[in-house]
Structure 1
Amino acid sequence: MTNLNDSLPDLMRRATEHLEPESTDLVERGMQRGAVLRRRRTALLSVSAVGAVLATAGIVVGGTQLFGSPDQKQAPVAGAPTKAVTIPTKAVPPATGKDTLATLRKLIPAGLQVSKPTSMDGGLGGQNSASVVVNDGKGASWLMVTTGYAYLNPTDCSNSLPNTCTIQPDGSALEAVAREAISRNGNLKEASSNSVMLTRPNGTQVALTSMSAAGEGSPVTRKQPLFSLAELAKLAASKSWGFPPKMTVQEPAPPTPKPPVVPVQATLATLKKVIPGHPQLSGPTTRGGGTNGYNGASYLTNDGKGASLLDVMLTTGAPVKKCQDERGLAHCKVRSDGSVLLWEKNIPSYGDSRQQRYGILGNSVTLYYPDGRTISLWSFNGLGEKAQVKHTRATPAYTTEQLTTMADSKLWVFPGGTK
């Protein structure tokens, strides 16, 4: 079976190469229009390949004016259904390419010779295609049908060629194009074709093409296609057509909002608010901020029992959802809300003789939220973890329980972004 997607460029080339020089303006306008229709074809999830062929062919060689001018009241194509087509509402099993071929053969009038049947399944959201060669004794004529769906503006004629599309009584859009045979210098001749595409309000779409040849690109076998535009319109309007499985189009999930860029001074202000009691505060520091991806802040606190550095770090990153004791001495638990809590008590700052000299100990808490927010708090019994001065008090000013309460505060605003 001819691959219609691949034949589009060939169809454009073959049609344009036979045009006389005086028709160059038509070719140029046709190519521009073809580019528009190709973009449209790409945007539609399941626009019929045959519909694209008929539109492209009509552009290049000029469509027969089946319908009146746009300002006139337009009647349906001669011979087209004059009654509204009733679309069955009951559930109908999806059709295969073989089903489409069977329907096509059933709708062909009796007395015609039918040969060379072909079919192709469209799959989920695709199109079913089928074709036969029909002969009434006056020459073979290729007849092809494609069934599928049009998801965007299914019954809007605004993107059709001028005078090729009408809205039917039931709201369907019927597009019809006749492509005349082309000859040049009396030597080369291409087959003529009649093509229609019917798009119903429910989005189902039937496209048919009849040619004055036994196939796409085959030699001319008769003067005109066996089926006229009116006869193809009647075939397209049949209620017998089945359609492939319809693809469910899901709206893309909204993008996950990025965590805000938080001024480090705001983090310092929050730290001040969550410190329990009324200690004396001094030596405020900040680090990070902006687009660095982290905010850090600290105070020296003094409750009358000695100075103690209290430090906080806020980040947003990959979620931690289970305990992984990478620090060896840490305790860990997964809490009921899915957050992971890691804590350490009285951890020595040094692992050598300096520990005996300075005696710095630290309590720490790190809280991992399921959405990737992370907060870490440290409290030392001196001016800092590596301050290299002797400790100022026996133990850190704040216990791991107090640090956990601070970390749980709803006042924290977590930063985002990377450097």
Structure 2
Amino acid sequence: MSNLDSKLPELMRQATEDLEPESVDLVERSVAQGTRLRQRRSVLAGTAAGVAVLATLGVVVGAVQHFDRDGQAAPAGSLAVGPSATPKPSLPSKAPSGPVATSPSANLKDPTLTTLKSLLQGPSRTFSMPENWGGKDDGFFGASWVVDDGKGGSRVEVLLERFKGPARCAGEPGCRTRPDGSTIRSESLSPEYSDARQKEFGIVSSHVEITRKDGRRISVASYNGVSEKGTKHTRVAPILTVAQLTKLADSQAWQFPAKVSK
């Protein structure tokens, strides 16, 4: 077996030394083809790596966009900046005036709306832009009118609520307990904006919130414009002062069909 191994190469050389290749450039073409295949594999490897990088970036970007949609985060590459101005503190039961809370068209037969108008009647006063919101299922009732006494329109609004528990201030600033056991909170000529928009719109308001001993709460507000925000003021001061708002909130005419909340 060992003799055959040593003689086999020589026998193969002798058997093939007189043979001509079918093509003189066979070896050259084989080498070239091999080079092209290596280059192609290199390109494919580079492409695959690029695709992998793009896929990774796609996952990251997709995750950022998903977080942005669900978590309201800032877009990638930007800084999440919060509000620059501290919002003005307002009464807890201040009546909402946004598009969600406000009815598209007021129900002129709504008892809260009609009661508000009857209590605001006065010489030379006109009423417009009625709104009402809330209901029994919501647990609160709100209404508003724009009242004009010849000195410009003023939005006046009321919010009626009922809650479980005694009326108390619990040391809250601006709140006091009255002799009848009710509590009262008030703000006078409070700016609606705490930034440059206040100079642009100039809206100020006065608020009074009274919580009666039995849990009934009446919040009333008056503005020196036809809306809470987004429009310029139409008069120097709201049509009602804090004293007048207190009298309005103290009226026994308010009805509370809302059930006690749990």
The TM-score range, normalised by the shorter chain, is 0.5 to 0.7
CA contact (8 A) 2:140 2:161 kept: yes
CA contact (8 A) 1:117 1:133 kept: yes
Match of 1:117 among 112, 117, 130: 130
Deviation for aligned residue 1:166? 1.8
- Structure 2 residue 188 is the aligned partner of structure 1 residue 178: yes
CA contact (8 A) 1:115 1:134 kept: yes
| Structure in which a larger fraction of residues adopt helix | 2
More RCO (CA 8 Å, sep 6+): 2
CA pair 244-97 structure 1, distance change in 2 beyond 3 A = farther
Partner residue in 1 for 2:211:
199
Partner residue in 2 for 1:295:
none
Deviation for aligned residue 1:179? 4.0
CA contact (8 A) 2:113 2:143 kept: yes
CA pair 248-207 structure 1, distance change in 2 beyond 3 A = closer
Deviation for aligned residue 1:230? 0.6
Match of 2:115 among 82, 96, 103: 103
Partner residue in 2 for 1:140:
153
TM-score (norm 2): 0.55
CA pair 97-229 structure 1, distance change in 2 beyond 3 A = farther
- Structure 2 residue 62 is the aligned partner of structure 1 residue 50: no
Q: In structure 2, give the amino acid aligned to 1:127.
A: F
1:83-133 residue CA offsets vs partner (Å, 9 max, x unmatched) = xxxxxxxxxxxxx98100111011003221111111124214611000000
Paired-residue identity, %: 29
- Structure 2 residue 250 is the aligned partner of structure 1 residue 240: no
| Structure in which a larger fraction of residues adopt strand | 1
Q: In structure 2, give the amino acid aligned to 1:120.
A: W
Q: In structure 1, give the amino acid aligned to 2:128.
A: S
Deviation for aligned residue 1:174? 0.7
Partner residue in 2 for 1:80:
none
CA contact (8 A) 2:163 2:215 kept: yes
| Matches of 2:238 and 2:141, distance apart in 1 | 23
1:51-77 residue CA offsets vs partner (Å, 9 max, x unmatched) = 9xxxxxxxxxxxxxxxxxxxxxxxxxx
3-state DSSP of counterpart to 1:157: coil
| Matches of 1:97 and 1:193, distance apart in 2 | 27
Which runs of 5 or more residues in structure 1 are unaligned?
1-12, 18-26, 42-47, 52-95, 250-419
- Structure 2 residue 170 is the aligned partner of structure 1 residue 158: yes
> Structure 2 matches for 1:15-30, cutoff 5 A?
17=85, 27=86
Partner residue in 1 for 2:243:
230
| Matches of 1:185 and 1:118, distance apart in 2 | 25
State the Cα RMSD in Å.
3.0
Partner residue in 2 for 1:211:
223
| Matches of 2:153 and 2:142, distance apart in 1 | 20
Which runs of 5 or more residues in structure 2 are unaligned?
1-82, 97-107
3-state DSSP of counterpart to 1:50: coil
| Matches of 1:189 and 1:108, distance apart in 2 | 25
3-state DSSP of counterpart to 1:242: coil
| Matches of 2:260 and 2:138, distance apart in 1 | 4
CA pair 237-187 structure 1, distance change in 2 beyond 3 A = closer
CA pair 188-125 structure 1, distance change in 2 beyond 3 A = closer
| Matches of 1:186 and 1:248, distance apart in 2 | 36
- Structure 2 residue 177 is the aligned partner of structure 1 residue 167: yes
CA pair 142-185 structure 1, distance change in 2 beyond 3 A = closer
Q: In structure 2, give the amino acid aligned to 1:102.
A: T
Deviation for aligned residue 1:150? 2.8
User: Which structure: larger Rg?
Assistant: 2
| Matches of 1:155 and 1:210, distance apart in 2 | 24
| Matches of 1:210 and 1:179, distance apart in 2 | 9
Partner residue in 2 for 1:128:
141
CA contact (8 A) 2:163 2:261 kept: no
